[in-house]
A = this chain, B = another copy of it.
Amino acid sequence: MGGAILVLSGPSGAGKSTIIENASSKIGDYYFSISTTTRKPREGEIDGVNYHFVSREEFEEDIKAGVFLEYATVHGNYYGTSLKPVKEALKRGKLVIFDIDIQGHRLVRAKVGDLVTSVFITPPSLSELERRLYSRSTDKKSIIEKRIENAKEEIKAICEFDFVIINDNIERASNEFATISNASRLKLSKRELEKLVANWENS
């Protein structure tokens, strides 16, 4: 079986990283796609682990060179997904997990929709999101306010996703994510389906 893509979106503060971490032992072999960004690293973030941190100039050169499967601007910074490592992981039959925003989801779905299952993770309420963002306090107030404004927009796009997980209980949310991941892996690509139909007729 070929690979599959799982897109994970949701506001900063929704708990995406924790959910992936908790679920990782239950979802078999996967490749986590590391995005490239021009935003500055937060405290504790490591280049090549959390993101590939690059300059605006580098990013714009990569755009011209056709490096990205998708890219978008969020809060004035570029975020993008390099195509090459994704292709290689898919070739090896892996589940590729993307942590991208709603614009990225749209672009990936438009390009390789037959491979995609998507999940939106949301905190239970706006007030809970605010509480989490302020208590995490890795960002300045102005950035937090921007994130909250963004979350208000993002939540309106949830109907575009295959699944929505309400993260009011991290244990349950992580289990739900693992369940969805394991199912998403079973999705056959259009090419695989066409092959199946062709072989069937000759069998």
Contact = CB atoms under 8 A, between A and B. Distances in A.
Interface stretch (A59-67, A81-89, A174-182): A174-182
A183 interface: yes
A186 B117 CA distance: 13
A125 B186 contact: no
A183 B193 contact: no
Chain A, interface size category, equals 20 to 34
A183 B187 contact: no
A203 interface: yes
Contact of A203 (B127, B163, B188): B127
A186 B179 contact: yes
A106 interface: no
Interface in A110-165: 122, 124-128, 152, 155-156, 158-159, 162-165
Interface stretch (A29-37, A70-78, A97-105, A194-202): A194-202
A176 B186 contact: yes
A166 B196 contact: yes
25 contacts: A122-B200, A125-B199, A126-B200, A126-B201, A127-B203, A128-B203, A152-B200, A152-B201, A156-B197, A158-B193, A158-B197, A159-B190, A159-B193, A163-B183, A163-B186, A164-B188, A164-B196, A165-B186, A176-B186, A179-B182, A179-B183, A179-B186, A180-B183, A182-B183, A183-B184
